[in-house]
Amino acid sequence: MQVQAHKGDWVQIYLVVLEAGSRAPQVPEDTAKVPLEMKVKGSLVEESAAVGDTVSVETAVGRRITGKLAAIDPPYDVGFGPPPVELRSVGAELRRILKQEVPLS
Amino acid sequence: MRVPMDYASVMARRGEIMRSSVGIDYDKFTTGRIAFDYERMMSETGYALDEVKRIQRESNVGDTPLIELKNLTRLVRHISEPGRGARIFVKDEANNPARSFKDRRASLSVHNALMKGYKGVVAATSGNYGAAVASQAARKNLSCIIVQEVFDSLGFEQPEIAEKGRACEAYGAEVLQLSVGPELFYIFLLVLEETGFFNASLYTPFSVAGIETLGTEIVEQSRTLTGRNPDAIVSTHAGGGITTGTARGAIKAGSPDTLIIGASVDLHGLHMASDRDFNRKSFTTGHTGFGFPFAVWPDRSDVPRNAARVLRYLDRYVTVTQGSVFYITEALAQLEGLERGPAGNTSLTAAFSLAQTMDEDAVLVVNETEYTGAGKHPYAQIAFAKKMGVEVFRGDPTEEKPGKNIIIPLRPEQIEAEDVDLDRLRESYVKNAGKSLGDEALMTAADIEFLCEDTRLSRKRAEELLSENGVSF
């Protein structure tokens, strides 16, 4: 993983918005125990920085936000995963049912 | 003097931030302590139907196909009593620019923002609405910021929401990705205050007026394709917008007798603000975690008066299981050649069950599809659920326990739409209305009239319930 970013690089920063213990009164216990965290992407403002440094980014709409450098060129890595075995045969099962049927007029 | 930015201070300023970011003086519609003139609010601050159509045509939104699902209908008839099995149609809303019905709402919100001179729009949404707002803002050269709830304290991102964030960024929006918690609203307020942008809330009169065309198009297309008005429309219910807007549209198109049936994914037992539960649900919207609270108190939204008020329109409300929706999503792809959803197929799953009880010549319309893609797909959701320790297996869907397991039905006849008692929701509404009065538990005649309109309760029953809740009138 790239650890050094330069001015203008597309990066993601991370910040804690509310510390654990300062959460809204209505949140359940498990949520109250952890901080409210935020991530946002933008172009690095500083000349250079390493992952973990406190930096500023200029976001897609031109706002400046400060946080810790979390990732450089962060990828979109959600995928489809494997076709689950629990669904794999559903299509064939339903087609078998329909084959026993006269088609709609 | 510096304005304090801490949680409590910002929340205390919510009223004024809302007023300037929505541009509606909600106070002028107030007619009692809880009462307000809903229809006047809709007509004075929303847009008339012809105007909505014009704006949407200009934005390439709407006029989507109504598709008859002939193989699913055959399957329904195979498992129904002779003479039963309604014709099922689906409104293919995935054909909108950002690929869901949410474009209808976004096109109006963004148009309104532009007309009122706002430089940008902000929306608090983890769903399709974010992409819709970002897409419309891009066309109209407005800046766009989307605030999402995406990941838990271990850093795991809900795959569907991560995909929506990607879509928003693809349209040039700034995306603020948050961990779990209702304080998302605090960040939302901070952003509105700092930028002076328009609050593209899902719940403004513009947003709901934008959905009315969905109802009018369904009725018109049903007449063209079948020669009759739809007997029933099934609508996925979360915040209430699509159901309210579709129902209002159907009425405006001259089909007041079409039954309006809401459907939500059953997520009982999961807490919507829990860091742990967040990633143990496979549906991020269209579920009971939003559906119930928004039905029983619509004004919990991000605007003072929610334009989406489902108890006015719902004739029936049902739930379906997560596993059943995945099964029907697979069936839609395999039997109809339509890879859509999954969340948008909640109403289709309910329709599959409901059609079995309706006559063969009846017309049952499902009012939306949504796009599918990486992360936003049953395969991705099932893989993620397994990673989070949720068991997935084939079996009897009535045994599904949200957060613990996902049960994919063994056979189509196991899919069942479970009725929710609307009267119990109405009772909860009255209780919440009572609570909203604070210490002075007193309602005016206008309040009671409003309460009856907002819940469809008889006056007698409303008065009984108010007395039970210690409210005098």
Q: Are B462 and B452 in contact (CB under 8 A)?
A: yes
The residue out of B203, B229, B244 marking a domain boundary is B203
Mark whether B32 and B70 lie in a shared domain.
Answer: no
Whether residue B176 and residue A40 make contact (CB cut-off 8 A), yes or no, is: yes
B159 in any annotated domain: yes
Nearest residue of chain A to residue B155 (CA atoms): A37
All residues of chain A having their beta carbon less than 8 Å from the beta carbon of residue B173 are 60-61
Give the helix ranges, DSSP H, for B5-69. Answer: 7-12, 14-22, 38-45, 49-58
B1 in any annotated domain: no
Helix (H) or strand (E) holding B221: helix B212-226
CB atoms within 10 A of CB B401: 15
All residues of chain B having their beta carbon less than 8 Å from the beta carbon of residue A98 are 71, 74-75, 78, 335
In angstroms, what separates the C-alpha of B431 from chain A's closest C-alpha?
19
The pLDDT confidence band at residue A2, using thresholds 50, 70 and 90, is confident
| Predicted local confidence at residue A29, as pLDDT | 96
All residues of chain B having their beta carbon less than 8 Å from the beta carbon of residue A100 are 78
Mark whether B233 and B112 lie in a shared domain.
Answer: no
CB atoms within 10 A of CB B28: 12
B2 in any annotated domain: no
Whether residue A28 and residue B75 make contact (CB cut-off 8 A), yes or no, is: no
Whether residue A79 and residue B380 make contact (CB cut-off 8 A), yes or no, is: yes
Q: How far is CA B146 from each of CA A17, B105, B173, B289, B294, rounded to the nearest angstrom?
A: 16, 15, 7, 22, 22
The pLDDT confidence band at residue A105, using thresholds 50, 70 and 90, is very low
Q: Are B131 and B164 in contact (CB under 8 A)?
A: yes
Nearest residue of chain B to residue A35 (CA atoms): B153
| Predicted local confidence at residue A67, as pLDDT | 98
Q: Are B373 and B339 in contact (CB under 8 A)?
A: no
Mean pLDDT of chain B: 96
All residues of chain A having their beta carbon less than 8 Å from the beta carbon of residue B384 are 81
Counting residues of chain B whose pLDDT is more than 70, the rounded percentage is 100
- How far is C-alpha B205 from the geometric centre of its chain's CA atoms? 15
B405 in any annotated domain: yes
All residues of chain A having their beta carbon less than 8 Å from the beta carbon of residue B383 are 81-82, 84
Mark whether B344 and B432 lie in a shared domain.
Answer: no
Note the pLDDT tens digit of each residue in A32-52: 999 999 999 999 999 999 999
In angstroms, what separates the C-alpha of A88 from chain B's closest C-alpha?
9
Burial of B131 (0-12, 13-18, 19+ CB in 10 A): buried
| Predicted local confidence at residue B44, as pLDDT | 87
Whether residue A26 and residue B374 make contact (CB cut-off 8 A), yes or no, is: no
B306 in any annotated domain: yes
All residues of chain A having their beta carbon less than 8 Å from the beta carbon of residue B324 are none
In angstroms, what separates the C-alpha of A10 from chain B's closest C-alpha?
12
Over 50: is that where the pLDDT of B203 sits?
yes
pTM: 0.96
| Predicted local confidence at residue B249, as pLDDT | 98
The residue out of B149, B183, B203 marking a domain boundary is B203
Pick from A18, A40, A79: CB nearest B175: A40
Which of B333, B172, B153, B152 has its CA nearest to residue B162?
Answer: B152
Mark whether B406 and B432 lie in a shared domain.
Answer: no
The residue out of B188, B203, B218 marking a domain boundary is B203
Mark whether B272 and B287 lie in a shared domain.
Answer: yes
Pick from B174, B273, B335: CB nearest A28: B273
Over 80: is that where the pLDDT of B46 sits?
no
B294 in any annotated domain: yes
Q: Are A61 and B173 in contact (CB under 8 A)?
A: yes
B473 in any annotated domain: no
| Predicted local confidence at residue A104, as pLDDT | 52
In angstroms, what separates the C-alpha of A81 from chain B's closest C-alpha?
5
- CA–CA distance, A19 with B389 (Å, rounded to integer): 28
Pick from A34, A39, A101: CB nearest B74: A101
Q: What are phi and psi of A81, to 5 degrees?
A: 75, 180
Mark whether B344 and B434 lie in a shared domain.
Answer: no
Mark whether B305 and B445 lie in a shared domain.
Answer: no
Whether residue B143 and residue A62 make contact (CB cut-off 8 A), yes or no, is: yes
Q: How far is CA B454 from each of CA B200, B205, B307, B308, B471, rounded to the nearest angstrom?
A: 24, 16, 11, 11, 17
Go through B259-290 and write b for each residue having 16 or more CB atoms within 10 A of its CB, e for each that does not: bbbbbbbbbeebbbbbbbbbbbbbbbbbbbbb
All residues of chain B having their beta carbon less than 8 Å from the beta carbon of residue A37 are 151, 153, 178-179
All residues of chain B having their beta carbon less than 8 Å from the beta carbon of residue A83 are 379
Reported ipTM: 0.95
Pick from A60, A79, A90: CB nearest B374: A79
Over 70: is that where the pLDDT of B460 sits?
yes
Mark whether B315 and B353 lie in a shared domain.
Answer: yes
Q: Are B91 and B364 in contact (CB under 8 A)?
A: no
| Predicted local confidence at residue A64, as pLDDT | 98
Pick from A27, A76, A81: CB nearest B181: A27
Counting residues of chain A whose pLDDT is more than 70, the rounded percentage is 94
Note the pLDDT tens digit of each residue in B146-177: 999 999 999 999 999 999 999 999 999 999 99
B133 in any annotated domain: yes
The helix/strand/coil state of B140 is coil
Q: Are B427 and B464 in contact (CB under 8 A)?
A: no
**Domains, chain A, with CATH or none:** 4-75 (2.30.30)
| Predicted local confidence at residue B1, as pLDDT | 57
Q: Which domain holds residue B174?
A: 7-54+100-203
Q: What are phi and psi of B4, to 5 degrees?
A: -65, 140
In angstroms, what separates the C-alpha of A43 from chain B's closest C-alpha?
12
Mutate to test the interface with B, among A22, A85, A94 (most CBs of B within 10 A): A94
Count how many Cα atoms sit within 13 Å of the Cα of residue B361 in the half-sphere of its side chain: 3
Mark whether B314 and B344 lie in a shared domain.
Answer: yes
Note the pLDDT tens digit of each residue in A71-96: 999 999 999 999 999 999 999 999 99
Q: Which two tokens stand for residue B28?
A: 């002028």
What average pLDDT score do residues B60-85 get?
97
Q: How far is CA A23 from each of CA A26, B155, B183, rounded to the nearest angstrom?
A: 8, 18, 8
Over 50: is that where the pLDDT of B352 sits?
yes
Mark whether B296 and B356 lie in a shared domain.
Answer: yes
- CA–CA distance, B92 with B84 (Å, rounded to integer): 25
Count how many Cα atoms sit within 13 Å of the Cα of residue B161 in the half-sphere of its side chain: 27
Pick from B75, B179, B274: CB nearest A94: B75
In angstroms, what separates the C-alpha of A4 from chain B's closest C-alpha?
22
Q: With helix as H, strand as E and coil as C, how does B236-301 read? A: ECCCCHHHHHHHHHHHHCCCCCCEEEEEEECCCCCCCCCHHHHCCCCCCCCEHHHHHHHHHCHHHC
Pick from B175, B182, B408: CB nearest A27: B182
Mark whether B223 and B184 lie in a shared domain.
Answer: no
The DSSP 8-state label assigned to residue B155 in this structure reads -
- Nearest-5° angle of CA B362, CA B368, CA B371? 140
- How far is C-alpha B95 from the geometric centre of its chain's CA atoms? 18
All residues of chain A having their beta carbon less than 8 Å from the beta carbon of residue B157 are 78
Whether residue B163 and residue A22 make contact (CB cut-off 8 A), yes or no, is: no
Mark whether B428 and B383 lie in a shared domain.
Answer: no
Point out which residues pair with A44 in neighbouring strands: A57
- 151-210 in B: which are within 8 Å (CB) of A? 151, 153, 157, 159, 162-163, 166, 169, 172-183, 186-187, 194-195
Give the helix ranges, DSSP H, for chain A. Answer: 29-32, 85-88, 90-99
Task: Write the CATH number for B410.
Answer: 3.40.50.1100
Total of domains in chain B:
3
- CA–CA distance, B177 with B163 (Å, rounded to integer): 12
